[in-house]
Amino acid sequence: SGLVLVKNPHLDLMEEDVLYHLDLGTKTHDLPAMFGDIKFVCVGGSPNRMRAFAQFMQRELGLPGAGEDVADICAGSDRYAMYRAGPVLSVSHGMGIPSISIMLHELIKLLHHAKCRDVTIIRIGTSGGLGIEAGSVVITDTAVDSCFQPRFEQVVLGDVVVRSTELDKGLAEELLACSRDLPDFPTLIGHTMCTYDFYEGQGRLDGALCSFSSEKKLQYLRRAYDAGVRNIEMESTAFAALCGLCGLKGECCCFHLL
| 59 is known to lie in a ligand binding site | no
Distance from C-alpha of 144 to C-alpha of 39, rounded to nearest angstrom: 27
Which helix (H) or strand (E) element contains residue 34?
helix 31-35
| 79 is known to lie in a ligand binding site | yes
DSSP symbols for 129-196: ESSS-TT-EEEEEEEE-TTS-SEEEEEETTEEEEEE-B--HHHHHHHHHHHTT-TTS-EEEEEEEE-S
| 202 is known to lie in a ligand binding site | yes
Q: Give me the residues paired with residue 122 across strands.
A: 42, 251
Whether the Cβ atoms of residue 69 and residue 58 lie closer than 8 Å to each other: no
- DSSP 3-state assignment of 251? strand
| 192 is known to lie in a ligand binding site | no
Q: Which residues are annotated as a binding site?
A: 79, 123-126, 202, 204
Q: Which residues are annotated as a binding site for phosphate?
A: 79, 123-126
Q: Which residues are annotated as a binding site for substrate?
A: 202, 204
